[in-house]
Structure 1
Amino acid sequence: MPPSTAPKTNILRRFRRNRKGAAAVEFALVAPIFFAVLFAIIELALVFFASQILETVTQDSARLIMTGQAQNTKLTKEQFKTAVCARLVTMFDCANGVSIDVRSYPAFAGVNIAEPIDSAKVYIDDTKYCPGKDGDVVVVRLFYPWPIFVTGLGLNLTNLASGKRLLTATAAFQNEPFADIGTTCS
């Protein structure tokens, strides 16, 4: 076939008017942003859901201390963690990730809750286990480093240098009256 003798402007005009494939090109331009936002929304929802599960487990587990069950059965830190892990059956690697901090105070005014992340964004594991005696004010905190995958487009949920988000759940309460058989702190 001989080369086209049509003027070059005619070829450009036909190319400009041809709309075949325009939807595919537009989708290719918009798709990465759409999927990035979609995955960011899904990840944010998972973080909120995991955080809510951690809060619920913290409240349920704290009840063992508030009612004196943990003190009267002389639960150790490991046994209390086992009781917590029994409630964290989904979404968490409890044995390797959950840290439990239980501290008792004589009054609410003495409560000191410091953030366990240093200036280099590293988690400082300074957890204790002191469930207190009846009438003591107790703060139970659970920590879990949650992995974050979508951090682009300005949505950076991480608060640890390892690219994870430290989820924290807290319960503060005053122990109910119970027969104190001697509590130990570790």
Structure 2
Amino acid sequence: MLCDRMRGTRRLWAEARRLMVASEGSTAVEFALIALPFFVVLLAIFQVAIIFLAQHELETAVEKTARGLLTGQTQQANMTQQQFTNSVCVNLPALFTCSNLMVDLQTAGAFSSADTSAPTLTYEGGKVANAWKFDTGASGSIMVLRVMYQFPVLPGLMALNLSNLANGSRLLMASAVFQAESY
């Protein structure tokens, strides 16, 4: 009986040793431990990349549209604010919804007084209530063009909060300051 107990104990220790050195499922367990943080970081990288792409596309669209103001084509065509906003929208990719663009165009007395800062947005019923100026100026005027867009972002993942507005979106803004040519 003592021998049976000793054999049983030896067998139990041998089984325990075998389990301690077994590595058949270790890869799956290790992946399970790092999968969530890995995918969250990957998602954050994609979100930042999309925001940089959207910002670049907005700046490019503003640059292309400002050219019409610079050369006087917009002024000579007597474009309305909506027509001008549509011309900005034509230069934007699918990342943007044209109805959410905010265009502020005004003249400045001097380059040093040109306001290119981001405005404080006010909301009424969930919509932006700011009144944007649209002054195409005259030949030789110093123009300040600001185009803004509320870009939707994912909520803060792992303390990475990319929103800079109270509604959880990110305000993208591109501006151009130039003096209109003689036309």
Corresponding residue number in structure 2 for 1:112:
115
Q: Matched residues in 2 for 1:81 and 1:118: separation?
A: 18
Read off the aligned partner of 1:102 and give its amino acid letter.
Answer: L
Q: Matched residues in 2 for 1:177 and 1:169: separation?
A: 25
Per-residue deviation, 1:124: 6.2
Read off the aligned partner of 1:35 and give its amino acid letter.
Answer: F
1:1-186 matches, cutoff 5 A: 5-6=8-9, 11-95=15-99, 97-117=100-120, 125-149=130-154, 151-178=156-183
Where does the alignment leave 5 or more consecutive residues of structure 2 unmatched? 1-6
Whether the 8 Å CA contact 2:121–2:130 is kept in 1: the answer is: no
Whether the 8 Å CA contact 2:116–2:175 is kept in 1: the answer is: no
TM-score (norm 1): 0.83
TM-score (norm 2): 0.85
Query: What fraction of aligned residue pairs are identical, expressed as a percent?
Result: 36
> Higher helix proportion, which one?
2
Report the 3-state secondary structure (helix = DSSP H, G, I; strand = E; otherwise coil) of the residue aligned with 2:106.
strand
The number of residues matched between the two structures is 173
Structure (1 or 2) with the larger CA radius of gyration: 2
Per-residue deviation, 1:83: 1.2
Distance 1:163 1:98, change over 3 A: same
Where does the alignment leave 5 or more consecutive residues of structure 1 unmatched? 179-186
Q: Matched residues in 1 for 2:120 and 2:108: separation?
A: 22
Q: Matched residues in 1 for 2:15 and 2:155: separation?
A: 45
